[in-house]
Each structure stands twice: as C-alpha cells, then as structure tokens.
Amino acid sequence: MTAYTPNLKLGQPAVADRNWNVAVNANAAALEALSPLAALNVSPTEIPSATLNVRVAPGGFVASGTLVNYAGSTSTTLAATSTIMLWLDSSGVLHTGASFPVVGSIVPLATVVTGSTTITSVTDNRVVFAVLTY
C-alpha cells in the first residue's frame, strides 16, 4: 500500500505494490507544479537534445519591489560550440551572452554549453532566495 510523505504528499509505493507507476507519475506531476522547481527553468527543447534550442519556463520574479511575470520562451536558438549565459533583465526580457552583465539588475537563469548540433549541458543559475533591502 502506498504511503505518503508528510509535507509534499509524494507517494512512496510499498515493496510489493503492483501499480507503482501510478504513484511515480503522480510524484512527477506534483514536482513539476512546484513553482520553486519549475519557474524560469531552462531546458533543451527536446530530450535528448537534437537541436541548439532551449526552452525557458514561465515564471515571476521581483524587481525593484514589483512582481514581473515572464511568459516563457518555447524555443530560443543558441550558437553552436559555445558556452552561453541566459538571463532576464528587470523588465522580463530574455538575454543571452558569453557572460552575465556586471552592472544592472538581472535574473540569472542558466549557463548552457552547446556542441556543434546539440545542447550538451545546462547548469541552473537561478537564485532560490534573494535578500531584499528596504
């Protein structure tokens, strides 16, 4: 019989459970719905990567005390054989470059390494908690 974790209520199938896939699939859906995990996440547009395109999930962030909602990007094409940083500016515009800006307000998203035809790695650069100064 499936037991559930106390906080997130994720299913933990028992050793002899036959339909363990039901709990595992429900866990995947529950994790996908968690904003701290999914919001502004950068991933290849397909798994495994078959192009130089990444997707940025929709999400929100606070800039100068104002909530900025980013609608997401279903496909952003990156240069081949490069290391590319992705970030949002304080207005919610997606940018790419060889390094993060050293001045201005930005929301770092990811560092993506590309091969000649595919995405080879994505490193998450999102900041989980920010310190607000008033």
pLDDT in tens, 74-108: 999 999 999 999 999 999 999 999 999 988 789 99
Q: Count of CB atoms within 10 A of residue 130's CB? A: 9
What global pTM score does this model have?
0.82
**CA–CA distance, 60 with 16 (Å, rounded to integer):** 42
Q: Where are the domains of the chain?
A: 3-33, 40-124
pLDDT in tens, 17-65: 888 899 999 999 998 888 778 899 999 999 999 999 999 999 999 888 8
